[in-house]
Structure 1
Amino acid sequence: MKKQKGFSLIELLIVVGIIGALTAIAVPAYSEYKRQSDVAAAVASVKTLLTKAEEHLSEKTTNTLKTFITAADTAGGLNAPATGYAVGELGVITAGTDNSLVFTMGKNVSFPDETITYTRTNVVWGCAMSAGITGVEVKGCN
């Protein structure tokens, strides 16, 4: 009688158990990483516009950021539609009131419809996240 080659049922069950344990550790870690990266990307998207917004506000004292968002490129603006400046699926940047830029997260990210707002006060930009963005700390934004 020939000896059969292969794995026994016990060996296969042990391998499945090990893979299951590794998955139980990896999935929550990835989920938290995804949440933090979504918020960090939103903050970075708005930060890239702060220099251009500051230049716009210093040169055109009668304008506000609302005109900056929708203004033509020749006027120093972003030439974005009235609905805002889209950043792929991540979200949309719009002008808020009182010289602020508001980033509204898209539907396919960790915090759909939550906002990150940069407001200019005395030539200093401050950042604030909406209450729905919990458990995520991003350097430079509370």
Structure 2
Amino acid sequence: MKKQQGFTLIELMIVVAIIGVLSAIAIPAYKDYVTKSEASSALATLKALVTPAELYIQETAPITATTALDLIGTQKDANSLGVITLGANAIIFTFDDSALNGATLTLTRNDKSGWACAAAAPTVGTFPKIDGCVAPSA
């Protein structure tokens, strides 16, 4: 008689259970990682605009909501995760195509203390803590 080879049903069930437990741990951790990397990408985009914005302010006039973005060397869609707009001495990034949909990062210029970053929470969820930006309180 030939010896049969293969896996028993209980062995297969154990493997499926192990994969399920690992997935339950890995998927939320991955989502947090993606959210934090999206926030960091937006902050990097804004930080890259600080020097051109500062030069514009020093050489021309304060930044207002009507200042054209090309005057500080960018476009509203410079980052695929959202749009960039200008405010009163502020550069604003609004997330519209990411896990942080509805959240905003704002770099605001103060004559005495320089540029400061503040975050506003997304419509769903919380804003991750990232270095260099104050997250909204829960």
Runs of 4+ aligned residues of structure 1 deviating over 4 Å after TM superposition are none
Q: Give the Å deviation of 1:24.
A: 0.8
**Contact 2:45 2:79 (C-alpha < 8 Å) held by counterparts:** no
Q: 1:55-74 maps to which residues of 2 (within 5 A)? A: 55-60=55-60, 62=61, 64=63, 66-71=66-71
Q: What do the CA deviations read for 1:63-102 (whole angstroms, capped 9, x no partner)?
A: 525425143xxxxx3263xxxx213431111111x21001
CA gap of 1:21–1:105, structure 2 versus 1, over 3 A, is same
Q: Quick one: distance in 1 between partners of 2:110 and 2:46?
A: 16
RMSD after superposition: 1.9
Q: TM-score, normalised by structure 2?
A: 0.84
Determine which of 117, 133, 137 is the counterpart of 1:141: 133
CA gap of 1:53–1:36, structure 2 versus 1, over 3 A, is same
Q: 1:71-82 maps to which residues of 2 (within 5 A)? A: 71=71, 77-78=72-73, 80=75
**Contact 1:68 1:78 (C-alpha < 8 Å) held by counterparts:** no
Q: TM-score, normalised by structure 1?
A: 0.82
**Contact 1:106 1:113 (C-alpha < 8 Å) held by counterparts:** yes
Percentage of pairs with the same residue = 42
Unaligned runs of 5+ in 2: none
Unaligned runs of 5+ in 1: 72-76
Number of aligned positions between the proteins: 130
